[in-house]
Each structure stands twice: as structure tokens, then as C-alpha cells.
């Protein structure tokens, strides 16, 4: 049961801070029942930090560098066509379990995956575990910042089994390598020559 609680608390805390403020007292009570130092530290940080400062910190941590984003297919598929298929597969998985996705949210957003895991239990944990390498990379990229979000991501990692079938992630996101050449068949692509 504490795994589901930790996933739900992490899901709330990893959303943009203005969406969390009203539920912070409830999250604190949840952690009193299922203690976790990493999540408690983040809840405390969000509780005592002024809203503008919390928002600035969140943007600085997650929105300024692609290697710290909360969209997990970015780590596995980058900005490639393959990512579209991965997003569609996630949506299908959610539908299979009766989970309704907010139309304004991408299905690979970590808080969405965490909420799915909290609601479905084992199927959601398996899905989240398939992104473990991406979460490990995110965690590694958060550590040098000293942000309270790093221990929260560590808590999520601690709830997941190690999977042999998870796609490994290294360094940066993959980039598209096919279909980027100009498609001008039959037309010259160099500078035009003038004939006298």
C-alpha cells in the first residue's frame, strides 16, 4: 500500500507547483501514514516556499534543459517519429485499464505515469518500471542541482523493480536520422548557373 501512496504523492509533487498548493496538507497526512524522507522533504519545500519562488525553481529544474524533462519518452525516443508511436502505445495502455488521460497532457509525463501506477497497482508499476532507465538518467541529472526533487525521484526509483527488458538510455535523447534530406528529386539543389 505504501508504494501506491508514494506514487500518488510523487505524482502531485512533480506537477507544476501551482497545481499542488491546495493538496499539500493532505499529502503531509498521507506521508504520516506511509513515511518517506525524500517525498516529505519535497512536500516541506513546497509548503514553505513562496508560490512564485517554487514556480521559478520548478521551471529552472525541469523546463530549461531537455535532459531534466519529465516526459520520459524524450529519454528513450527523443524528438523522433518513434516517439509518436510510444505516446500512442501509452494512451492505449491507459485506455485498456480505464484510465482517463487529461486531453491537455502527454501520456509520458511522469506525474501521469505515477498516478496511473497509484490507481492500477501492478500494471502501472510494470509500465513505470519500463521507463526505469529514463528515471535513472533524470535522477542523475537532478543530483548536481541539490534540488528537493532529486530525493523524490529516488523514492520513485526505489519502488520499482529492476527490469532486464527496459530499453537502456545513455547520455542525450535520440535524434531523427532518416528523412531529413531535402526531397527535391529532379530539381537542382545547388546554386543556379547563369548561361550567357
Burial class of residue 23, CB neighbours in 10 A (0-12, 13-18, 19+): middle
- CA 121-35-136 angle, to 5 degrees, is 60
Does residue 47 belong to any structural domain of this protein? yes
* 74 Cβ contact partners less than 8 Å away, ≥ 6 residues apart: 66, 83, 108, 134, 173
Q: Is residue 21 part of a domain?
A: yes
8 A C-beta contact, residue 15 and residue 111: yes
Report the domain count for the chain: 1
Q: Which three cell numbers stand for residue 91?
A: 494512451
Residue 178's pLDDT is what? 46
pLDDT at 167: 56
Query: Could you tell me if residue 7 is inside a domain?
Result: yes
**133 located within any domain:** yes
- Say how far apart CA 138 and CA 155 lie, in whole Å: 13
The CA–CA distances, whole Å, from 175 to 60, 80, 95, 98, 141 equal 24, 6, 29, 33, 19
Torsion of CA 141, 71, 20, 37, to 10 degrees: -40
In a domain, 181, yes or no: no
Classify residue 127: in a domain, yes or no. yes
Using CA atoms in the order 67, 61, 26, 115, what is the torsion angle rounded to 10 degrees? -20
Q: SS3 for 109?
A: strand
pLDDT of 79 reads: 84
Task: Give dist(CA 10, CA 128) in Å, integer.
Answer: 13
In the 8-state DSSP scheme, what is residue 127?
H
Q: What is the reported pLDDT for 192?
A: 58
Low-confidence ranges of the chain (pLDDT < 70): 1, 163-196
Cβ proximity of 188 and 38 under 8 Å = no
Confirm whether 179 is domain-assigned: no
Residue 18, domain extent: 2-158
**Which pTM does this prediction carry?**
0.84
- 67 in a domain, yes or no? yes
Q: What's residue 21's pLDDT?
A: 85
* Res 190: pLDDT: 55
Contacts of the segment 141-144: beta carbons below 8 A, 24+ positions apart: 141/65, 141/67, 141/68, 142/61, 142/68
Instruction: Quote the CA–CA distance of 104 and 72 in Å, as a whole number.
Output: 17
Amino acid at each position: 500500500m505504501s508504494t501506491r501512496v508514494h506514487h500518488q504523492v510523487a505524482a502531485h509533487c512533480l506537477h507544476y507547483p501551482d497545481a499542488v498548493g491546495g493538496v499539500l496538507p493532505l499529502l503531509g497526512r498521507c506521508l504520516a501514514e506511509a513515511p518517506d524522507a525524500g517525498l516529505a522533504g519535497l512536500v516541506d519545500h513546497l509548503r514553505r516556499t513562496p508560490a512564485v519562488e517554487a514556480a521559478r525553481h520548478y521551471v529552472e529544474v525541469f523546463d530549461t534543459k531537455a535532459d531534466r524533462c519529465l516526459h520520459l519518452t524524450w529519454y528513450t525516443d527523443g524528438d523522433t517519429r518513434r516517439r509518436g508511436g510510444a505516446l500512442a502505445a501509452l494512451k492505449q495502455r491507459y485506455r485498456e485499464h480505464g484510465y482517463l488521460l487529461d486531453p491537455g497532457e502527454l501520456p509520458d509525463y511522469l506525474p501521469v505515469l505515477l498516478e496511473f501506477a497509484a490507481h492500477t497497482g501492478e500494471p502501472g508499476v510494470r509500465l513505470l518500471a519500463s521507463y526505469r532507465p529514463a528515471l535513472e538518467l533524470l535522477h542523475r541529472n537532478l543530483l548536481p542541482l541539490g534540488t528537493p526533487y532529486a530525493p523524490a525521484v529516488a523514492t520513485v526509483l526505489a519502488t520499482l523493480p529492476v527490469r532486464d527488458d527496459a530499453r537502456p538510455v545513455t547520455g542525450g535523447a535520440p535524434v531523427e536520422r532518416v528523412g531529413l534530406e531535402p526531397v527535391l528529386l529532379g530539381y537542382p539543389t545547388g546554386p543556379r548557373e547563369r548561361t550567357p
